[in-house]
Amino acid sequence: MGRLDGKVALITGAARGQGATEAELFAKEGAKVIITDLQEEGINELANKIKGNGGTVLALKQDVSSEEDWQKTVDEGIKAFGKIDILVNNAGILSFKTVTEISKAEFEKILSINTTGTFLGMKYVIPNMQENGGGSIVNISSLAGIYGVGGAAYNASKGAVRTLTKNAALTYGKESIRVNSVHPGTIDTPMLKDVLQTEESREHAASTGALPYIGQPIDVAYCVLFLASDEARFITGGEYLIDGGALTM
């Protein structure tokens, strides 16, 4: 028996990194997975891998900042599998630019993907969850959504995801729709390849937490799996740090 048997999960930003790891783990645990990304080649490769391991998957190209794309994605997912039980708003982009360095266009682009993309995902998936009597939403925020280290737009976008999550948890809890946020610290993914490209930089990153190593995508995926599963049936509105103890330093 898998922890997600009978569930249908939609995971955005699944072409690589955390999203890809989450999708593989969810499929292994019995979920039918809908994986989306703008990187069409990446999600198609992942879909073939999941199918090869006996999983059930639908790969869709999607721009999460597009309302039209969200409507199409949800419609196609429901058409293929009949419902959506789990939404993981994982897609995101990163910038380290400060308030005075970043342009208005760059600032708005980051918010359109990280924050508006999360909002649109909930807007279009929640009605199906209401029809089906409940569901679980996991929004991937960041350690940068809790404290001020990072780029201005990235911090703003992830902080908004944190409070948007709490609003949705309060609004839809009586309908058995759970909404939680996950806040990774330094995780060894392609998004941080420029930051972690030298041994010195990796040692420095590891030294910023209580634990002596850098997090891996699977560390995030297992927390997301728990929150998505019925094991977390009495958990909503929470924020879960996966930071190696960075905020304890």
The residues that are catalytic are 154
Give the separation between CA 169 and CA 236, rounded to whole angstroms.
6
Give the separation between CA 11 and CA 26, rounded to whole angstroms.
10
Query: Are 24 and 52 spatial neighbours (Cβ–Cβ below 8 Å)?
Result: no
Reduced to 3 states (helix: H, G, I; strand: E, B; else coil), residue 118 is helix
**What's the order of all strands across the beta sheet hosting 86-89?**
56-61, 32-37, 8-11, 86-89, 135-140, 177-184, 239-242
Give the separation between CA 116 and CA 109, rounded to whole angstroms.
10
Closest to 11 (Cα-Cα) out of 68, 81, 101, 77? 77
